[in-house]
Amino acid sequence: MMKWLVVLAALVAFAECLHKMPLIKGKSARQTLKEKGLWEEYRKSHPYNPAAKFYSSGTESMTNDADLSYYGTISIGTPPQSFSVIFDTGSSNLWVPSVYCNSSACENHNQFNPSQSSTFQWGDQSLSIQYGTGSMTGLLGSDTVEVGGISVAKQVFGLSETEASFMTYMQADGILGLAFQSIASDNVVPVFNNMITQGLVSEPIFSVYLSGNSEQGSEVVFGGTDSTHYTGTITWIPLSSATYWQINMDSVTINGQTVACSGGCQAIIDTGTSQIVGPTTDINNLNSWVGASTDQSGDAIVNCQNIPSMPDVTFTLNGNAFTVPASAYVSQSSSGCMTGFGQGGTMQLWILGDVFIREYYAVFNAQSQNIGLAKSA
């Protein structure tokens, strides 16, 4: 009996090392703009440019993605001030709006007030993050940041002073980047790095589960994995570059036929991009293979009734096949159906965003620099 109690105590202690950060699947900017009757006009003046986030110009970039919908709440400061953020594996900085910001985007979001936090300290650098449609500029400071029950001390983050108008229509207040320090603006140490060095997680791993349609249930787990969210085994894929969470993709196929990424390409697993994005010529080919036609705003439209007969698309990553069915890559709304394959322009990098991650539970190991994928439960 005593032996079992010891085992049980060890299991309980171990279970406490998993820190779950629930995410809400909220309203996207597209939905908000459509409700206000502003969508068509907005999209015409601000074409979707998913690649903007990945053009390295020394400043970190971010996309004007209108379909991002997963947010989690963190707090900053003593006493804590709360913010909803996008947990973004495609960027590396943390930033939130501040009381020094007069942009319209700051006025309808929570703003950090450093004078109300006893643990806040100013940094000596400014921060500039490029968007697809403008930029966010601000100042760096440091404070205690609480994420999923973990308190990270002296975390450097950005306090925005100006924000692109696009942010007005996003539900999230800010962004929490989960990629590597090598691409962080001002070489700031990312939140997850600090969790590891401050000994706050039992393993240098975080994992992401994105639920399909329900508002509740999505989560980021810091310090390990949650086996209730996947079935079968986790397939591990080594990173080809520890900048983004970047891996080798061998091909994109339909019924065994290569339709994109012929001869291989690079892909990143990115929770901060809603679609699967690739070079425009590849994406156009992929969309025509599945029977979609692209409208003037760049959306690939399909007839909703065709979904059951549309083909699976297989992404082969480092020799392992990951298949995404039409039920997963087509999104349905009151205004019809469209595929989740987005044009990335001339950029050669593929982005496997939320459309892919909803199908495959993703595990990110910062130490061994690999990504684990398993079928979502």
At residue 251 the predicted structure's pLDDT band, cuts being 50, 70 and 90, is very high
Is residue 290 included in any domain, yes or no?
Answer: yes
83-128 confidence digits (pLDDT tens): 999 999 999 999 999 999 999 999 999 999 999 999 999 998 888 8
Is residue 278 included in any domain, yes or no?
Answer: yes
HSE at residue 211, side-chain half, CA atoms within 13 A, is 14
Is residue 237 included in any domain, yes or no?
Answer: yes
Placement of tokens 């060095």 in the chain? 197
Is residue 216 included in any domain, yes or no?
Answer: no
At residue 16 the predicted structure's pLDDT band, cuts being 50, 70 and 90, is low
Count: domains in the chain: 2
Whether residues 126 and 154 fall in one domain: yes
Q: What is the reported pTM?
A: 0.91
Whether residues 200 and 63 fall in one domain: yes
Is residue 301 included in any domain, yes or no?
Answer: yes
Please, what's the b/e burial string for 338-363 (b: 16 or more CB within 10 A of its CB; e: otherwise)? bbbbbbbbebebbbbbbbbbbbbbbb
Residue spans of alpha helices (H) in the chain: 2-15, 29-35, 39-45, 104-107, 191-197, 280-289, 326-329, 354-357
User: If you average pLDDT over residues 71-84, what whole number do you get?
Assistant: 97
Is residue 314 included in any domain, yes or no?
Answer: yes
Is residue 35 included in any domain, yes or no?
Answer: yes
Active site residue ranges = 88, 270
Per-residue model confidence (pLDDT) at position 290: 97
204-247 confidence digits (pLDDT tens): 999 999 998 777 889 999 999 999 999 999 999 999 999 999 99
Which two tokens mark 213? Answer: 């349609």
- Mean pLDDT score of the chain: 90
Tell which wins on pLDDT, 16 or 138.
Answer: 138
Q: Is there a contact between 209 and 229 (Cβ–Cβ < 8 Å)? A: yes
Per-residue model confidence (pLDDT) at position 33: 87
272-328 confidence digits (pLDDT tens): 999 999 999 999 999 999 999 988 888 899 999 999 999 999 999 999 999 999 999
Whether residues 268 and 130 fall in one domain: no
143-169 confidence digits (pLDDT tens): 999 999 999 999 999 999 999 888 888
How far apart, in whole angstroms, are the C-alpha atoms of residue 370 and residue 228? 21
Evaluate if residue 7 carries a pLDDT over 80.
no
Whether residues 253 and 357 fall in one domain: yes
186: left (phi over 0), alpha (psi -120 to 50) or beta: left
Whether residues 353 and 243 fall in one domain: yes
Whether residues 281 and 200 fall in one domain: no
Range of the structural domain that residue 342 is part of = 227-376
Whether residues 183 and 250 fall in one domain: no
At residue 31 the predicted structure's pLDDT band, cuts being 50, 70 and 90, is confident
At residue 57 the predicted structure's pLDDT band, cuts being 50, 70 and 90, is very low
Evaluate if residue 41 carries a pLDDT over 90.
no
342: left (phi over 0), alpha (psi -120 to 50) or beta: beta
DSSP E strands, 117-178: 121-131, 134-147, 150-162, 174-177
At residue 9 the predicted structure's pLDDT band, cuts being 50, 70 and 90, is low
Per-residue model confidence (pLDDT) at position 59: 46
User: If you average pLDDT over residues 347-370, what whole number do you get?
Assistant: 96
Tell which wins on pLDDT, 135 or 335.
Answer: 335
Whether residues 199 and 247 fall in one domain: no
Whether residues 45 and 133 fall in one domain: yes
Where residue 39 sits, what CATH number does that domain have? Answer: 2.40.70.10
Whether residues 204 and 296 fall in one domain: no
Poorest-confidence range of 50-54, 145-149, 353-357? 50-54
Is residue 311 included in any domain, yes or no?
Answer: yes
Whether residues 249 and 339 fall in one domain: yes
Evaluate if residue 13 carries a pLDDT over 50.
no
At residue 3 the predicted structure's pLDDT band, cuts being 50, 70 and 90, is low
Which two tokens mark 366? Answer: 């910062």
Q: Which amino acid appears at position 71 of this protein?
A: Y
Task: Provide, rounded to the nearest whole percent, the portion of the chain with pLDDT above 90.
Answer: 70
How far apart, in whole angstroms, are the C-alpha atoms of residue 261 and residue 265? 6
Whether residues 245 and 358 fall in one domain: yes
